[in-house]
Structure 1
């Protein structure tokens, strides 16, 4: 580890970032809870989890804030989509079907059959708790409504005209289902996420988006005592939240050592609660670790750097990860979407050029 660190120590001073100014567009203040690690990523929906089976009890108003309008109409208002919508009703691709509202596993593809009704049809559910039922006497008919066992979202109806061995037909709205092919699920096992704060997230995001092995970078907030704080609330410095990036990376292409190497290269970890002109706990240097591996790797590199490089002590805090709240869309991919803005040209672009020069062998290939 020591030799690995020393190879880039001499380059650190040229990468210490000045903090960035932000604009003042108001952010959504939806109250959110933490979502667990997902096969499917839905940062806009914090209740979504492919692993958590804990019952969700939310108001329709809360669901309306996090679901797309068409999904909300079906899931929360029992609307029905048009038959033969899309290809899901006849697809025989191997994989798993999840509730599109909350992420609960509902069906496997080997429980599916192609019916003539025009909606995805299944003869058996994943387990006895994945789908629950209630009587539906709407429209002058008696039917059995099928609902998600975790969030009570409307999925469709259950009929007694299915194939053996059950004789059942779970007639589902395609929009109520998320589908993940088996190959994608297998690839997901190579992915890991970590949340880092190094001052302005525009700068940190722009750098990590260029690193080979990083599959996604999302700007947002973490830490503190306020659920889903708005940008304005974070700027007051009273929420305890920090500007952060959530980095998803492929462990077969990069690793924690490299992620941290870049992190301590692109910001100044010796200035307490500030980066350049931006002052406050929201700009603190912080690593939100999700497990002991991340914590120990961070402790190791900090110890090495304190001994070998900095005259000032590294003040980067290590905090257990609790929740990540995505920033508004205009904060995402800010550099890519605003290259002609003065801040991008004068602040972010020079840092990227230096980063690309030093890490030239680790940059994503341009297509």
Structure 2
């Protein structure tokens, strides 16, 4: 099993997308890389503590490679928008890949370099950092779109093809 933390705007849609992807075994929505212990949603939204809304995910790298995982991540985000995804604006909605190992961070950086080359050297604003902390979001945020199917989501969940779904 491998694990990574991804920020891609509002965590509801990011979690809904990845929880349906073959090879992903666990998702938790939460707050990554901020400066306060156990923040509340209101504190995260204030921007005072520097958190990103993110998902922690575990995946079976025999089913889903790191390359494929990052390809899916870039499929659902706009990597050129700073602190914004969909209609959501603010520091907590930034894009980021938060890594558990130096090797994972180097791999993610190389992935982005190659992505930028493929896209006419257009620079992305996706953070690639070591994970310094992750706090689970409140329970009502966990699997939010499963509990609230009509809830807001900036991600087109139809981007997952039938053969990519669990």
Q: Sort the TM-score into its range (normalised by shorter chain).
A: over 0.9
CA distance in structure 2 between the aligned counterparts of 1:310 and 1:236, rounded to whole angstroms: 36
Residues 214 and 324 of structure 1: is their aligned pair in 2 closer, same or farther, counting only changes over 3 Å? same
- Do the aligned partners of 1:196 and 1:246 also contact (CA within 8 Å) in 2? yes
Q: Which runs of 5+ in 2 are unaligned?
A: none
Q: CA deviation at 1:310?
A: 5.8
Question: TM-score, length-normalised on structure 1?
Answer: 0.43
Q: CA deviation at 1:342?
A: 5.1
CA distance in structure 2 between the aligned counterparts of 1:233 and 1:252, rounded to whole angstroms: 38
Match of 1:286 in 2: 96
- Do the aligned partners of 2:84 and 2:94 also contact (CA within 8 Å) in 1? yes
Q: Secondary structure at 2:145's aligned position in 1?
A: helix
Moved over 6 A (4+): none
- Is residue 343 from structure 1 mapped to residue 152 from structure 2 by the alignment? yes
Match of 1:362 in 2: 164
CA distance in structure 2 between the aligned counterparts of 1:226 and 1:318, rounded to whole angstroms: 20
Q: Secondary structure at 2:160's aligned position in 1?
A: helix
CA distance in structure 2 between the aligned counterparts of 1:247 and 1:310, rounded to whole angstroms: 30
Q: CA deviation at 1:247?
A: 0.5
- Do the aligned partners of 1:256 and 1:294 also contact (CA within 8 Å) in 2? no
Q: Cα RMSD over matched residues?
A: 1.6
Match of 1:248 in 2: 58
Deviations 1:92-142 (A, max 9, x none): xxxxxxxxxxxxxxxxxxxxxxxxxxxxxxxxxxxxxxxxxxxxxxxxxxx
Match of 1:229 among 16, 35, 39: 39
Match of 1:182 in 2: none
Match of 1:326 in 2: 136
Deviations 1:272-329 (A, max 9, x none): 1111332221111111111122112211111111111267420111111122100111
Q: Secondary structure at 2:152's aligned position in 1?
A: helix
Match of 1:259 in 2: 69
Q: Secondary structure at 2:80's aligned position in 1?
A: coil
- Do the aligned partners of 1:195 and 1:244 also contact (CA within 8 Å) in 2? yes
Aligned length: 166
Q: Which runs of 5+ in 1 are unaligned?
A: 1-190
Match of 1:42 in 2: none
Q: CA deviation at 1:343?
A: 2.6
Match of 1:352 in 2: 157
Structure showing greater Rg: 1
- Is residue 209 from structure 1 mapped to residue 5 from structure 2 by the alignment? no
Residues 342 and 208 of structure 1: is their aligned pair in 2 closer, same or farther, counting only changes over 3 Å? closer
Q: CA deviation at 1:336?
A: 1.1
Residues 269 and 242 of structure 1: is their aligned pair in 2 closer, same or farther, counting only changes over 3 Å? same
Higher helix proportion: 2
